[in-house]
A and B are shown apart, each in its own frame.
Chain A
Amino acid sequence: MLKSTLLKAVATTALTFSTWASAQAVDLQFYFPVAVGGGAAEVIQGMTDEYMANHPDVKIDAVYSGSYQDTVAKVITASRGGNAPQLSVVLSADMYTLIDEDLVVPFDDYLTTDEEKAWLAGFYPSFMENSQTGGKTYGIPFQRSTPVLYWNKEAFKAAGLDPEVAPASWDELVEFGKKLTKKDANGNVTQWGVRIPSSGFPYWTFQGFAISNGVTLANAEGNKTSFDDPKVVEALQYFVDLSAKHGVMAPGIIEWGATPKAFFEGESAIILTTTGNLTNIKTNAPFDFGVAMLPEKEQRGAPTGGGNFYLFKGASDEQLDAAVDFVQWITAPAQSAKWTMATGYVAPRAETWETEAMKTYAAEFPQVLVARDQLEFAKAELSTYQNQRVTGFFNDALAAAITGQKTPEEALKEAQTQADAVLAEYR
């Protein structure tokens, strides 16, 4: 007994030494933001540990870096301070900002073999729109999402609607919304038909309507916006009319963070929010719910959203090679499936959806497939150079129209003029 313990100890020591010997260790630092609850940070830490267990020559320090906004602040500060991480997850919409600040290197230089180049083609093209510019790939999709409709099947039944059918078009959304909006004897609304959040980053929820009306908000070079396009105006008019004219949505700015709760408590029968919420809603909704693509006008459409992996300047080639290898590993089917099931983010590669784990999960919970299927119609999230400022103008315009301070046309014209003034130097 003692002997075997001793032997084991010797063996372990020997093993440690041999690991040490092979350890021309590459050190990597990797920042990651967390935007969903439910222990997402532990999942990332766990996957990183698993990678290190299989790759004893690589040491990865995974650093939780707050929200997306905190992460971008941290990564820019650290880079300017000469201490950039080698790898970070940052919003895909921040690509032009990071390029403009000259902080990132494209992945292409580290994907040399044909096999590695083919790997890039395995990502959904709509996720790559925010990840590539000027023929280079700066971002690799990781925690990516897209907005979808969630509907309360019980409320549909109570309103005399087919609980298995979601509104498919703009007109149906209004029509269903009217049936679902309930008032008490005093005329106070007890249940709204539709809830589309408009606080914080209204451009994202609104963008689904612009795209389904057949218009994109910014070009692929990130230096021109089309905020005052008549189709954008039409989409905003529709958005405003949901409460102003049709009375199916609460008036004023609607809080993003309180939206899932409003759904659970029956305050709204249909909500629009990110797929990043799917696991949360699945766990907490006390009723049967369905998930559907955003309603169409000229076409189906939705923006993508969420975070990409970026490589940072200041690292050695050896480090970046290791970082790229880690990114390839963590986006591979087994890991990606685990991540999607834990959070609700859309697995960014088609092959992940072919794994047994995902197939079993999707068979039990078909709602998870909607976001993936919607990707076919999805476009890039609004992203330009000077992204914070430009989307800021657009958000202000949306808020002004939603609160009735300006007409949609006035507000959007103004935002376009402001955006032009900022973006002119990038053309």
Chain B
Amino acid sequence: MMRGSLTYDRVLNTLAAWALAILWILPLAYAVWTAIHPAAYEARFVLTAPLTFENFQRAWAAAPFARYFLNTTLLVSLILACQFFLCTLAAYAFARFEFPGRGLLFTLVLLQLLVMPDILIVENYQTMRLLDLVDTIPAIALPYVASGFGIFLLRQTFLTVPRELDEAARVEGSSALGILWRVYIPLAKPTYLAYGLVSVSHHWNNFLWPLIVTNSEETRPVTVGLSVFSAIDSGIDWSVINAATLMTSGPLLIAFLLFQRQFVQSFMRAGIK
């Protein structure tokens, strides 16, 4: 009896998981289908449809994607490096140091989570102009480097590190920064990995702010290149758009597939789901 209900439960679970997985993969499958077939087969799913690579060629030729890929790579690396550095230090301070105004400051950091970045576009633009950074990659990155989410996440992780480890390192003569480097950061690795993935995919996809703050080919990311295909006056050419989408999201997809196991595990450990 007990056993029967367990298998029943299991079957339901498996079915639901498959249903969700298929639902999730459908858009991707459709993108692949349209990207590798001529436009005439966008809505006709015939197995014998001729394969073509032309959509990718047209998409690649429509914008300087090679340069855009380089820019996006530089951008997400810059953001991630700065975020790791700043958020680690801030989170360590909030987690392990007593100082006046700590509660208030941490509340301010949390408040940042409530503010939609789009509201601040004009303010941010003025700041970038003041710093004379308009039309540079750092200008795209700067508003995001002090991430409230990153500080919060790392602080929560650091708080779970047993005090005893901290004290033991101190007895051994380690400095505060030495403890951070040798004790806290290694223990928070899964959190870094999970946060890194969220950050990279978010900034890889960001469009409006980079479009507004940059003007030249040398600074613009792939999403701006992708936007030339959303030509509303002349209808939508799904084959080329999907080829371009696959092309631009490809590196992320491949990276995710390669590191899938690590990502899933770190998400479980870091408690972000």
Question: Could you tell me which A residues sit within 8 Å of B by CB distance?
Answer: 29, 34-41, 61, 63-67, 70, 73-74, 76-78, 80-83, 145, 200, 256-261, 265, 273-274, 276-277, 279-280, 306, 344
Contacts and interface: CB of A to CB of B under 8 A. Distances in A.
Interface of B: 42-43, 62, 121-122, 125-126, 128-129, 134, 208, 211-212, 215-216, 224, 227-237
Which of A37, A38, A67 has the most chain B CB within a 10 Å cutoff? A37
Nearest to A62: B215
Contact of A74 (B62, B212, B231): B212
3 closest pairs, A vs B, by CB? A276-B233, A260-B235, A81-B125
B127 to A, nearest CB: 9
Contact of B236 (A80, A83, A261): A261
B231 A258 contact: no
Contacts of A83: 125, 129, 134
B48 to A, nearest CB: 19
B233 A277 contact: yes
A37 B212 contact: no
A66 B236 contact: no
B126 A81 contact: yes
B234 A80 contact: no
B232 A70 contact: no
Contacts of A200: 232
A77 B122 contact: yes
A283 to B, nearest CB: 10
A29 B122 CA distance: 19
A63 B216 CA distance: 7
A65 B208 CA distance: 10
A73 B235 contact: no
B233 A36 contact: yes
Contacts of B43: 265
Contacts of A39: 62
A61 B212 CA distance: 15
Contacts of B42: 261
A92 to B, nearest CB: 14
Contacts of A29: 215
A65 B233 contact: no
Given A66-B224, A77-B212, A265-B43, A280 B126 contact: no
B126 to A, nearest CB: 5
A189 B38 CA distance: 26
B234 A82 contact: no
A38 B234 contact: yes
Nearest to B63: A41
A41 B122 contact: no
Given A38-B234, A260-B235, 13 more contacts: A37-B229, A40-B231, A61-B216, A66-B227, A70-B208, A70-B212, A73-B208, A78-B212, A81-B125, A257-B232, A257-B236, A260-B234, A280-B234
Contacts of A256: 232
Contact of B228 (A41, A259, A276): A41
Contact of B231 (A35, A70, A261, A265): A35
A200 B125 CA distance: 29
B211 A70 contact: yes
A77 B235 contact: no
B234 A276 contact: yes
A297 B58 CA distance: 44
A388 B227 CA distance: 22
A40 B212 CA distance: 20
Given A38-B234, A261-B236, A277-B234, A64 B228 contact: yes
A279 B229 CA distance: 16
Given A77-B121, A78-B125, A80-B125, A37 B211 contact: no
Contacts of A279: 234
B62 A36 contact: no
A294 to B, nearest CB: 17
A82 B208 contact: no
Nearest to A42: B62
Contacts of A41: 228
Nearest to B213: A77
Nearest to A261: B235
Contact of A35 (B125, B126, B232): B232
Contacts of B234: 35-38, 260, 276-277, 279-280, 344
A261 B239 CA distance: 12
Nearest to B62: A39
A80 B43 CA distance: 45
B235 A259 contact: yes
Nearest to B121: A77
A70 B227 contact: yes
20 contacts: A35-B233, A36-B231, A37-B231, A39-B62, A41-B228, A64-B228, A67-B227, A67-B230, A67-B232, A70-B208, A70-B227, A78-B212, A81-B126, A260-B235, A265-B43, A274-B233, A277-B233, A277-B234, A277-B235, A344-B234
B228 A81 contact: no
Contacts of A40: 231
A412 B49 CA distance: 48
Contacts of B233: 35-36, 145, 274, 276-277, 306
A74 B125 CA distance: 10
Contacts of B235: 257-261, 273, 277, 280
B125 A77 contact: yes
A93 B70 CA distance: 37
Nearest to A61: B215
Nearest to B231: A37
Contacts of B122: 76-77, 80-81
B54 to A, nearest CB: 14
A38 B235 CA distance: 11
Contacts of B237: 37
Nearest to B128: A81
